[in-house]
Amino acid sequence: MKNLAQIKSGLFSRTHSGAEIYYLMARDFDGNFHLKQDIEPRISDSEKLPKHLLAQGDILFAAKGHHFFAAVFKGEVSPAVASSVFFVLRLKKNVEPGFVAWYLNHPETQKSLVGLSTGSSIPSISKSKLAEVEIPIPEIEMQQKIVQFEEIRLKEKDIKKELNKLKEELLNYQLINLVK
């Protein structure tokens, strides 16, 4: 990873209402590692913020907690900074950010990441351990195909979830009508 990306720590800041800067936290991402749409700015501008501002294509890696994950920042909200639960990976080479996030989120990689973590009550991965993670980089066309496939897979997962919910509602409706 160290040859692939610059790794920076997220920012620790107190949040408040009436702010103008988005302060991204792990809870701001859904189960598919996409930024939720209902977040609000949480911090105010200060002189230490410019070096922490996120750029489109940055990868946010949640390195603290019971679920490590990677998400690509697509500039959905701006200006934005990552909270201290994240490392921000800014790619150095011509690599698809979605591919790196996919690789870090892959179940096999997740097993390796858990092995690198320390702490029993709140597991975490250090910057140096993350820098040691080796990511095989195929040709850019293959990276893009993998990212496209993953996006389709996640959409299918959401559709199946919604379908199961609707089936459950229909079944409950039919059953209650049997006893009326």
- DSSP string covering 131-167: HH-------HHHHHHHHHHHHHHHHHHHHHHHHHHHH
- In 3D space, the residue among 135, 117, 137 whose CA is nearest the CA of residue 127 turns out to be 117
Instruction: Provide the pLDDT confidence category of residue 118 given band limits of 50, 70 and 90.
Output: confident
Query: What tokens were used for 149?
Result: 């496939």
Is there a contact between 57 and 37 (Cβ–Cβ < 8 Å)?
Answer: no
Q: How many residues does the chain have?
A: 180
Q: Cα separation of 91 and 50, whole Å?
A: 18
- Kind plus residue range of the DSSP H or E element containing 175: helix 140-178
| pLDDT at 25 exceeding the cut of 80 | yes
Higher pLDDT, 46 or 69: 69
Q: Side chain identity at 70, as an amino acid letter?
A: A
Q: Average pLDDT, whole number, for the chain?
A: 92
If one counts every other C-beta atom within 10 angstroms of the C-beta of residue 109, the result is 16
Is there a contact between 124 and 118 (Cβ–Cβ < 8 Å)?
Answer: yes
Residue-wise pLDDT for 137-169, tens only, equals 999 999 999 999 999 999 999 999 999 999 999
Instruction: Provide the pLDDT confidence category of residue 121 given band limits of 50, 70 and 90.
Output: confident
pTM as predicted: 0.86
